[in-house]
Structure 1
Amino acid sequence: MLLERALKGEELAIARLLTKIEYVDPEGLKALEYLAERSGSAHVVGITGIPGAGKSTIIGALIDEYVRRHHKVGVVMIDPSSPFTKGSFMGNRIRMQDRSMLSNVFIRSLASRGHLGGVSAEALMLIEALDGLGYDRIIVETVGAGQTDTEVVSSVHTIAVLTVPGTGDEIQALKAGIMEIGDFYVINKADKPEAEASYISTKFVIDSAEINFRDGWKPIVTKTVATKGEGIKELVDMFEEHKSFLESNGIFRRRIVDRRVKMVELIVRRNIDQVLQKTIDENKKEILMMPLLKSVEKIRDDVIAKISK
């Protein structure tokens, strides 16, 4: 059985099982239900930030450090998707082939499928599945579309927002949205001359912010040079400190509940969208012949009738 083989750690079986889950295959959903009963112990870390900040590079370095600490690491890398096929534009997994060959590491790349919040229903299902399969550290890389990535908050325990010196991120730091969701703000490529100025600017914004930080945790600003592995050990130490903070305050478990609620919400929304699109396609000619409000009422009533069946 596919699920049994996946639980034994067979990589090919895990890949096939995750595909069935991602495409909402009945066997996949049944397996997900079983895995959800086993999940709830993985520390899920979200990596977000602007394109070019070095997210893939820093994730590779984090994998190496977690493996050194004998953790089983799962990675979900969410790429921008085609508006036509919903397929992935960038195979991030290809860039990390050397890490995917490591034992106790499984990397899955999938498309955002047009979901602007940075995390899709499919991504949440894969996080839940990897947790149930025994991966105790799960890293999620979001699309990296800037302030639209804020929905990752409801999906992970710890969020690291990457910024890069010399790209105007010290101005970005003054904006709302993504600069209010992070537990850590990582100045990557800190060997650049502008790094210290970016560090000081970002730290000033955090220290002087008049907002309620999530969970009462004051964000930490740190520097890394991911290509050289500098600052990575310290960053993982900080992640572990944050994990302990969440566990001691009962927030760790609450985040898992939030993730599952969001997953169910997104799946239901997707099903409703599919029914809505089908109903519109079936009624295109009638819509053209009807007044606007009457068209809206007809489509709404038809969708409700179909969902109620």
Structure 2
Amino acid sequence: MKSILFPTRLLAAFFVLALFVGCGDDDGNNISTDQGTFSLEITDAPIDDPNVSAVFVTIAEVRLDGEPISGFQKTTVELSALQNGVTEMLFTTDLEAKTYNTLEIVLDDATDAAGNSPGAYVRTMDGAKTALTVAGDGALRVENTSVDIEQGTTTEAVIDFDLRKALLRSGGSYAFAGESRLESSLRYVEKDEVGTLSGTVTNATGEEGEVVIYAYAAGTYTDTEAEGDENNLFLNAVSSTRLSGSGDYQFAFLEAGDYELVAFSYQDEDNDGRLELAGEFRLTAGLSINLLNISVGVNSNTSANFTLSALLP
């Protein structure tokens, strides 16, 4: 019986071909892609309405440059529970290392993550639900977004969903604002580019009710921000926070930069169960603190204590 001999060069060619095929991925695509990790959390700035017990939204998809994030699971979030630096993780995933220019979240107002209706709603203190409807297909583009994914690194980001800007109130009812304003209520930041501003406030006025503090980019606040319909107040504020019962406040996830603070009183002056804007406080602070120009650095916790010295007419 004769044995069949293969030329050495032919055997080598077969070996290289087998090695090439074996290194391919499960899809038969042999082109490797450099990747980095992207994680996205969500948080909220408070709404100045004591009648609101909770606000729920359902996120059906998250898209980068129009493409859904693979593996993201439909999620229902209680936004009103995510304040003062508290966040909820939406996802962590590996992505192709490159710059993505648009980030969208798609809200489902019909059903929540468990299949129950509605998918977005306000729950008031008496337990009643008011359904919230999103205009169009529910896709909201987060403004000023550029997601830079680098090979072998993790990009950690947060979306601040500002309910004070996102919700419109009329009497005892609630509704989402139109698409443009709803999109402007979404603020995207990356954790390695932000800091925290916090402090203790002394109320020397004797005024009762809620105190809301607004943070503006330095030099951008004007008196007209506090005028007009209640649904159109303080729309240019970067963020807002309520003064706690112990006199503390905190702004989390502020991009590094210079800020000015203003504080306003909200009181139920007509005893209808809802807070109305009662006036602006005059603020005083120590010589080392300029409340019109407070610098917040990256990965820092800036402290600014001040006093509510008078309620302006």
Compare the two structures and name the one with the higher strand fraction.
Answer: 2
- The normalised TM-score by structure 2 is 0.21
- The normalised TM-score by structure 1 is 0.21
Compare the two structures and name the one with the higher helix fraction.
Answer: 1
